[in-house]
Structure 1
Amino acid sequence: MDALEELSRWMITEGRRSGDPVKAVSRFCTDLIAAGVPLWRVNIGQRFANPLLIAWGVVWTPEKTESYDVTHDVMQTDSYVGSSFEYILANRRPLHKNLRRLDPEADHISYHEFAEAGGTDYYATLMYYGDGSMHGCTFVTQSDSGFTAENLQMIEASLPGLSCALEPVTMRKSSRSLLRTYLGDGPSDAVWNGSIKRGERTALDAVVMFTDLRGFTALSDSTSEEEVFDALNTYFDVVVQAVEDAGGDVLKFMGDGILSIFPAADGSSRAEQCSQAAQASQTALAGLTAANSTRAQTGRPLLEIGIGLNAGRVSYGNIGSPGRLDFTVLGAAVNLASRIEGLTKSTGHPVLASSAVAAAAPDLFSSCGTRSVRGISDPVEVFFLRVDAA
């Protein structure tokens, strides 16, 4: 069995079972070098089915092998436009380029960067997966003779084996990233592991954070759809980032409402969860203030939010029909958080919390009296997040 046959055998057996793209790409490159292909830098790009990330990949050099992610925004920048990846995906054919004869004006900046670092020859080609998707690979050498025709044939002959090792990894990463995008980290892990099926639920202690955009109906009626979507995206960006930075999970967007939880972690106390929720609330308000400064300069409407916090026992899981499920969190604690958020309009405080939250973090909240809450017979004492809270 020659070296390339052994490489292909390893890829479709051990490489595929390992689920380790860095290990697979490292083996691919080192075996090709041993077979006589003078590799210096290899980039194996993998396309994502994801609304936030469009690709991921692995870059190999003799010094190290590491993975990376690519957002959709990158596709509009000079790093992609005019690149070899754009060319091979658009034209569906390989690209072979001599790095010693570059056009200073016409050739993409990446070719010049590789040439300045000692690269002499460049090859970009495609990998094809069973779902019909195409994925790009690039190879650079520093050999004085560049890539020979035999070198390129060896690379192409080895790619099907590499595809066998990487395709299941790409499919799993795409699926998991989609779950994480729509469900958040904790719930997506539970769904992926099969621990939450239809009708099953998990009960846990958590701080519930309900956020609402003030005046959304009026904004929708008085501005264009483009401006409404711009406002929502700004608002979502600020709140989601604040929640995730503080250790929470964003579970659901409900129109202009955002439902988030700060679940109890092993060894953590309710005081820690309440502090996390308070920190997320403060960060969200600060972020919105910064965003409004930019919006004011361009004449766009300013955005205001209300936040309701409550702590208690909640249940989350999948509910719905046999053919369509929704992942959500339910319980009296969730309902009260929503009702408390509604009180922010009348109290003048953007963040209000229940006594369960305030009792666990007394240094952060002060009482603003009792209020009647829809659906609850007795008045409820609510607490505002102090401006000077740490």
Structure 2
Amino acid sequence: MESPGRYRYRPANTLYAASHDWFSPYLSRPVRELLDAGPHARSLLRSPRNVDVCILFTDIRGFTDLSRTIGSDRLFRTVDACIGRQIRIIEHYDGYVDNFTGDGLMAVFEGPDMTDSACRCALEVVSRALPAVRYGEAALAPIGAGLHRGDVAMGTLGCESRLTHTAIGDTVNRAARLTGFARGRDVVISERIRRGLSAETAARFAPVQADRRRTDIDAIAPIYRSRCG
């Protein structure tokens, strides 16, 4: 029986995920799927591949100020609840978390409907991930998000003592930089994302002028901001 995941292979008799349930959540979905290949897992994980994906970055606006106003335990519980809510939304739209970035995360979407799915996911994250996480009088600032589509190199980075399976490349960098343009409860997307959206989803975005004084993103590239915040 072949794997139901994206990385089609014939798995070993004893599946890794089935025998390590407690450990599986520490791994990204591609790593869990590839580990089920048994003896072939190591070579598969070490083999980089080029793939067209959508990359989503999120982070909490005003997080530094928030961290100065509430205790570390409350801060951790608040961010944990916020991150957990985002993950559930991302998985609902068939994406997965590649890594965490402190108060935010990086998610990957693949497949034929990835552009519209990733964008609708981002809109839901910025509008729904925060209301459920309030502790006393402390409340999180809004979430901002950036989304871009393009080719990435996906594979294993690191050395003998520490490895990670991740996506790297200009697409990742641009998605991260677009997040910097997001204000509270904003999703900022690239032109390539907008071209792949359904008319209904595209109507939720308006063009914005990139700040030409910034050097960390192409100042003449069209970008779009969501109308939800």
**TM-score class, shorter:** 0.7 to 0.9
Matched residue type, 2:45: K
Cα 1:184/1:324, change in 2 over 3 Å: closer
Whole-angstrom CA distance in 2 between matches of 1:359 and 1:277: 13
Cα 1:191/1:335, change in 2 over 3 Å: farther
Matched residue type, 1:352: V
Any residues of structure 2 matched to 1:331-370 within 5 Å, and which? Answer: 331-345=169-183, 350-361=186-197, 363=199, 364=202, 365-370=205-210
Whole-angstrom CA distance in 1 between matches of 2:66 and 2:83: 16
Aligned to 1:330: 168
Q: Decide which of 252, 264, 284 is 2:125's aligned counterpart.
A: 284
Q: Decide which of 23, 31, 47 is 1:178's aligned counterpart.
A: 23
Say whether the 8 Å CA contact 2:66–2:140 is kept in structure 1: no
Whole-angstrom CA distance in 2 between matches of 1:182 and 1:299: 32
Any residues of structure 2 matched to 1:246-265 within 5 Å, and which? Answer: 246-264=93-111
Any residues of structure 2 matched to 1:97-108 within 5 Å, and which? Answer: none
Whole-angstrom CA distance in 1 between matches of 2:16 and 2:177: 41
Say whether the 8 Å CA contact 1:183–1:250 is kept in structure 2: no
Deviations 1:46-68 (A, max 9, x none): xxxxxxxxxxxxxxxxxxxxxxx
Aligned to 2:73: 226
Any residues of structure 2 matched to 1:284-303 within 5 Å, and which? Answer: 284-291=125-132, 295=134, 298-303=136-141
Question: Can you give the 5+ residue segments of structure 1 that lack an aligned partner in the other structure?
Answer: 1-167
Q: Tell me the matched-pair count.
A: 208
Deviation at 1:358, TM superposition (A): 0.8
Aligned to 1:314: 152
Does residue 190 in structure 1 map to residue 34 in structure 2? yes
Deviations 1:193-218 (A, max 9, x none): 215334x3121111100011111212
Q: Secondary structure at the match of 2:53?
A: strand
Matched residue type, 2:162: R
Whole-angstrom CA distance in 2 between matches of 1:382 and 1:371: 11
Aligned to 1:79: none
Deviation at 1:261, TM superposition (A): 0.8
Matched residue type, 1:190: L
With normalisation by structure 1, the TM-score equals: 0.49
Q: Bigger radius of gyration, 1 or 2?
A: 1
C-alpha RMSD of matched pairs (Å): 2.6
- Higher helix fraction (1 or 2): 1
Deviation at 1:277, TM superposition (A): 1.0
Say whether the 8 Å CA contact 1:344–1:351 is kept in structure 2: yes
Moved over 4 A (4+): 168-172
Any residues of structure 2 matched to 1:128-207 within 5 Å, and which? Answer: 173-175=18-20, 178-179=23-24, 181-193=25-37, 194=41, 195-198=43-46, 200-207=47-54
Whole-angstrom CA distance in 2 between matches of 1:375 and 1:282: 24
Matched residue type, 2:48: R
Deviation at 1:299, TM superposition (A): 1.5
Deviation at 1:376, TM superposition (A): 3.9
Say whether the 8 Å CA contact 1:278–1:385 is kept in structure 2: no
Cα 1:177/1:190, change in 2 over 3 Å: farther
Q: Secondary structure at the match of 2:139?
A: coil
Deviation at 1:249, TM superposition (A): 0.9
With normalisation by structure 2, the TM-score equals: 0.80
Deviations 1:18-45 (A, max 9, x none): xxxxxxxxxxxxxxxxxxxxxxxxxxxx
Q: Secondary structure at the match of 1:196?
A: helix
Whole-angstrom CA distance in 2 between matches of 1:222 and 1:378: 36
